[in-house]
Amino acid sequence: MRRIQFNIWIVSLMMFCFFTSCDTTNDVRTIKLAHSLDVGHSVHKAMVKMGEDLEQISGGKMTLEIYPSQQLGTERECIELLQIGSLDMTKVSVGVMENFAPRMKVFGLPYLFKDRQQSFNVLDGPIGQELLDEGTQYWIKGLGYYDAGSRSFYTKDKPINSPADLKGLKIRVMESVTAMDMVKSLGGSATPISWGELYTSLQQGVVDGAENNPPSFYLSRHYEVCKYYSLDEHTMLPDVLIIGTHIWEKLSEQEKKWLKEAVDKSVVYQRKLWAESEKEALDAVQEAGVKIIYPDKSLFEKDVESVYSQYKDDKDMSSLIERIKNTN
């Protein structure tokens, strides 16, 4: 028994040594970054550029080591690795972040933004910046936002032309209370499932559909199972690049400056790639036989009003929503 416990301890120690963050070898600081997306995704490409820029800006004194495609776990698991100091950086949807930075749930509210430009003005302005620091009490600091476009419903067996078509359907959502409330308000049955398990869940009928942006729908190959994509564009939910406070506090002011500059460059680059990838994704899924539906969004907007009503007595959230809506 003691030998088994000793072996478990050795394996744990070895894994800790492997995952221990921010290696410093020969005065070079290596930051480990993991994410759940495919290497063809605009976010991964932006991270590769971030690594190249970081090495150039720092004169080779800082490098980035990237683990894509859930190599180190789901988004939530990567956050947990980050919290215990076994991972330095990761990218997650703000829908997942609301479990660690509660005020970020505001971004999950349906039809919050008038258009994409307003969302960028909010994310890059004072509101977005103050929310990046929301998770510090949970050992998480936000560094910037990547574009993740608008999320819409895709289904296996029937198109979604109005909220009435969602009634009785099991729709996969992230582990986000806001996302679950939204789907429920539209009459669907919200079912949280990890991204990596969703393809099989769709195939096996565990869920009838899901909701996501065009590039994610395409790159995940979910279009092979779901042949209806209804562009109701209910939320503009950005991705957020986060770093553990354990490593952030170890960085010198110069290193923080280098890293932030590389992050900012990657954000600009990713948003350009994203705009191109959205059109490519919609063209590709249509070629594969997916029917694209353009429903009347006003029908969906009316049904989700109840999601906002639950915040009417919450002065902090009500104020935040008002500030966002008044951002030009």
pLDDT digits (tens, 9 = 90+) for 117-136: 999 999 999 999 999 999 99
- pLDDT at 10 exceeding the cut of 50: no
- pLDDT at 230 exceeding the cut of 50: yes
Q: Quick one: average pLDDT of 168-193? A: 95
Displacement of CA 248 from its chain's centroid (Å): 21
Distance CA(66)–CA(31), nearest Å, equals 9
Residue written as token pair 């929503």 = 321
Classify domain 151-236+280-322 by CATH architecture: 3-Layer(aba) Sandwich (3.40)
* 170-173 sheet: strands from edge to edge: 189-192, 170-173, 209-212, 151-155, 228-235, 291-293
Mean pLDDT across the chain? 92
Q: Quick one: average pLDDT of 222-231? A: 98
User: What pLDDT score was predicted for residue 25?
Assistant: 57
User: What pLDDT score was predicted for residue 196?
Assistant: 87
Q: Which are the contacts of 261, defined by CB distance < 8 A and separation ≥ 6?
A: 53, 57
Q: Quick one: average pLDDT of 8-16? A: 41
Could you tell me the CA-to-CA distances from 13 to 7, 29, 79, 121, 279 in Å, in that order?
10, 22, 20, 45, 46
Q: Quick one: average pLDDT of 207-233? A: 97
Give me the helix-helix angle, 42-57 and 253-287, nearest 10°.
150
Choose between 211 and 6: higher pLDDT. 211
- pLDDT at 12 exceeding the cut of 50: no
User: What pLDDT score was predicted for residue 277?
Assistant: 95
User: What pLDDT score was predicted for residue 24?
Assistant: 59
pLDDT digits (tens, 9 = 90+) for 90-107: 999 998 898 889 999 999
Q: 149 with 213: CB under 8 angstroms?
A: yes
User: What pLDDT score was predicted for residue 175?
Assistant: 86
Choose between 191 and 1: higher pLDDT. 191
Share of residues in the chain with pLDDT > 90 (%): 85
- pLDDT at 200 exceeding the cut of 70: yes
Q: What one-letter code names the amino acid at 196?
A: G
